[in-house]
Chain A
Amino acid sequence: MASVSFSTELMWDLCTYALETAKLRGASYGDVRLMHLRQRDLTTKNGQVGTLAQGESIGIGVRVLANGTWGFASTDRLTREGVAACAAQAVSIAKASALAKRSNVVLAPENAYVDSWQSPFRKDPFEIPVETQLALLLAADGEMRKVKGVTLTETSMQFRKIDSWFASSIGSRIHQRKVISGCGIGATSFQGDEIQKRSYPNSFGGQHALEGYELVESLDLMKHAPVIADEAAALHAAEQCPEKFGTLILAGNQLGLQIHESIGHPIELDRVLGQEANFAGTSFLTLDQLNKLKYASSIVNVVADARLDHGRGLGTFAYDDEGVPAQCTDIIKDGTFRGYLSNRETARLIGLERSSGTMRTESWNRLPIIRMTNVSLVPGTWDYDDLLADTADGILMDTNRSWSIDDRRYQFQFSTEIGWEINGGKKVRMLKNPSYSGITTEFWNSCDAICKFDYWTLWGTPNCGKGQPMQTMGTGHGAAPARFRKVRIGTAFSKQ
């Protein structure tokens, strides 16, 4: 959006002024995030443009410790008067927090950093003409509508450009710019008493990554549009996924969400310590489980990696929103539970030397909280074709349709848009309404094959909700197709 620009000098001046005000008002620690968020959202439906919107939001959030407790205030009044009032309010809120405190907050040590970082991209999506973007979506939409039986077609693109200026009272001054792109298409078919849908490359908006417009161009929408449209229409005639205990192969996009729900959330240390008990829930990964729990089979390795080296995921950055550098943390090593996602406060509470750098905020008006970065399954050794050939009797499930897990992250149930029966090492027929369920540790301990890096994708989950007030965050999940044994299949449609 061509709007009036603030100078970098003004941004840093406002950050500094807020911190100075907080200190004068009695804060023992403070950090501020001045953020400018820009977004563009495009959708089509049935060959017509749906959403066509662009927006920006700019403001500052001030977090302070005073009297040993936290306060946070935010404002979009970006003047010295405005940020000073905001900082003073944060301090007075912190002092109110002290009316109901048990102990003083103490932070794990961290160094001060002065840095500037920009996520790499080849094509700025905001510089690509909207006509070009809409033309591609409408063309893909048109390809899907050619297929008989398709009753609803949808396409979407989302782009974000986020500038953040972070400053803290320990002397950090960090500017980061992130460019995020997302794109996906979907075909729905209503016949008789059944609605079936297929999406590409993933459900709920497609693929999302810390990339430029090159992400959209890499997806080859025109090639995949007729394929998913055909599948959506064909699903009505497919056999119902059977109910049984059996072998399950998960496509990478579904495995990414499985990782998110059954590994990513339970390792959040704020959940473990009860800080999310009222809303997001707690975790079965109590502190006594660390380095002891056999979380998964020995071929399973999972990391939480926010570094660019891991890939351009929704959980990639240079510093978290508490000024801690991006890190790679072992979560599961050779099947054993090895690590949590922490911030400076919770790291100190459990005796860690340092935060694992996972504090993230949705926007300037939200408090940073512990969030997943890129929580990824390390690639295995299998060729995909070999994995299928090695499976005598199983079901391959692809593209999430529904997902649910209990508030301690034990029991889950997922269903996917499409399934394929594997018999004698080959895909023999399409199955509709596939679903599976299980207990987290039993499921991961049943994993006996993971495909290699050639089949590994860093999937983006753009819609992770957590916190009160609710915040939506993007997380990354690297996954290659993998096989699980003795899984309960078909539960969701059981009539028992």
Chain B
Amino acid sequence: MTIAPGARGKIGRKKAEHAELLAPRELRGIIETVLRLAKSTGVAETEVHVDEVADALTRFANNAIHQNVFERVVTVSIRTVNGGRTARATTNRLDEDSLLATIEASLSLAHSEPRDPRLLPMPGKQRYRPVNRFVQATAALTPEDRARAVRLACDLAAKKGQVAAGIFSSGQSQTAVGNSRGLFATYCETHSQFSITMQEDPAASWAKADFADVREIHPQKLAERASEKAHLAVKTQELAPGRYTVILEPAAVLDLVGFLFYDFAATAVQDKRSCLNNRMGKQLFGKNISIRDDVFHPLQKGAPFDGEGMPRQKVLLVDCGVPKNLVYSRASAKTARRKPTGHGFALPNEYGEAPMNLVFSGGDSSVEKMLASTDRGLLVTRLWYIREVDPYEKVMTGMTRDGLFLVENGTVTGAVKNFRFNQSLIEMLKKVELMSPAVRATGEESFEMVVPAMMVRDFHFSEVTKF
């Protein structure tokens, strides 16, 4: 097959084995090739996304590595506009014939739909505030590096009579967007995660970290923390369901509140599917709750532009408990007569936009201080299988997992069988009594964000399970 100029034809074997990303000129070369081909076919407007990932993940269970994977893929996604109609076609084949076929597929799809009088022209050239989240130490991590760290964690588990399971992943990705009106933006980052579950029959506990710089991850410390908590959780007592004061570790906060933020999309409000309908500007949460979306925060990751290439803005979503602002794509901004905030998804789509770089203001307490101030409550390590029960009151259900501990008179006195909760997020954020400083947290149910640990009163547990 014919390779597009400047694309993968110049990638040698050594580069492929070491998973180096395409050079910036190669990335731009793909976009320019698509724009040239599209122009030659008479397309009025063309937008091109190029996304590349090179990710590795080492997975372990039963104190040994059982899966160990690597992937590398470059995806080219093309949106054309002709006569008020737009559609997207995607391929991972970079030869000119395939790129041309993808342009034609997009055109053919668009031709099949009715004209959309609300469709906006593509944006022109934009200016972006640079962010640098590419860390060579992460990009250079090898399978052997990951295996050695996993081996140490597994050895710790074996020494303690426990069983370890988890992942150690590392990778790099880059994205570029360009269009026929001259817009061009690129972003690259590295990412790494270490997650570990330590099992001491019948209990388990868990710890996880996620950073652009793998040197900020300390696998052995995470393993030790999970190990200690698993041992503490071996003997459990069953408590009656009811309302408890809870101390939610940051991962538990993250996974729960993550379900709130799609409601801050202007399109969700315009569609009347947001819990913020008729609630903007009102005292919805406690006065100690302030939340902003800030892609430039030093603990955040992600591109400083959206699916149309619009620069992301910092947005104050909640100010002292009052929902103040929504995020806007270009389309929802036009409907609302506001300015776009750079949070739109790639077009065409029906969801509009969402804030993806959440930062809570946090407080000055700590988990230790929260424990010390609790007469009777529960310390929650992690939540699991969270789903929405009531979309307007934002009632969420889910389970505690991997370490639920009873706190009495300021200290942890034992472990408790896991509970199911049915809890309104709105009510919960009215009842936050203490917060730690916000940290970069990672869980399994939501994307990473910067959140504090929280002490919340009257958290509603409805049922108990068998372990």
Contacts and interface: CB of A to CB of B under 8 A. Distances in A.
Given A437-B420, A468-B167, A76 B74 contact: yes
A77 B72 CA distance: 9
Interface of B: 1, 8, 11, 13, 16-17, 55-75, 77, 86-93, 95, 97-98, 101-102, 104-106, 108-110, 112-114, 116, 118, 142-144, 146-148, 150-151, 154, 163, 165-167, 169, 195-197, 199, 204, 206, 241-242, 271-273, 277, 348-350, 384-393, 395, 397-399, 401-402, 418, 420, 422, 444, 462-467
Contacts of A74: 69-73
A405 B385 contact: yes
Nearest to A277: B165
A492 B67 contact: no
Interface in A451-496: 468-469, 488, 491-494, 496
Contact of A52 (B75, B113, B420): B113
Given A75-B72, A275-B61, A52 B86 contact: yes
A407 B399 contact: yes
A492 B395 CA distance: 9
Given A74-B71, A89-B70, A99-B151, 10 more contacts: A4-B93, A46-B271, A54-B90, A56-B90, A74-B72, A96-B142, A276-B165, A402-B388, A406-B385, A492-B390
Contacts of B391: 195
Give 5 closest A-B pairs by Cβ, nearest first: A50-B350, A96-B143, A55-B90, A411-B465, A130-B112
Contacts of A85: 13, 16-17
Contact of B16 (A52, A77, A496): A77
Given A278-B195, A407-B399, A413-B420, A367 B67 contact: yes
A165 interface: no
14 contacts: A45-B271, A46-B271, A93-B56, A96-B65, A97-B147, A100-B60, A102-B62, A154-B350, A188-B271, A190-B277, A194-B392, A401-B389, A406-B467, A408-B466
Residue of B58, B350, B467 most packed against chain A (CB within 10 A): B350
A492 B69 contact: no
Interface string A264-280: 00000000011111110
A450 to B, nearest CB: 26
A420 to B, nearest CB: 19
A147 B323 CA distance: 32
Contacts of B56: 93
Contacts of B163: 274, 277
A1 B105 contact: yes
A491 to B, nearest CB: 6
A316 to B, nearest CB: 26
Contacts of A88: 17
Nearest to B73: A76
Interface in A246-289: 273-279, 281, 284
B101 A3 contact: yes
A403 interface: yes
B55 A469 contact: yes
A411 B444 CA distance: 19
A89 B196 contact: no
A404 B386 contact: yes
A278 B166 contact: yes
A270 B443 CA distance: 22
Given A492-B389, A496-B462, A101 B69 contact: no
A281 B11 CA distance: 40
A152 B95 CA distance: 42
Contacts of B114: 49, 134, 138
Contact of A96 (B68, B97, B112): B68
A351 interface: no
Contacts of A301: none
A386 interface: no
A101 B65 contact: yes
A4 B93 CA distance: 9
A73 interface: yes
A193 B392 contact: yes
Contacts of A56: 90-93
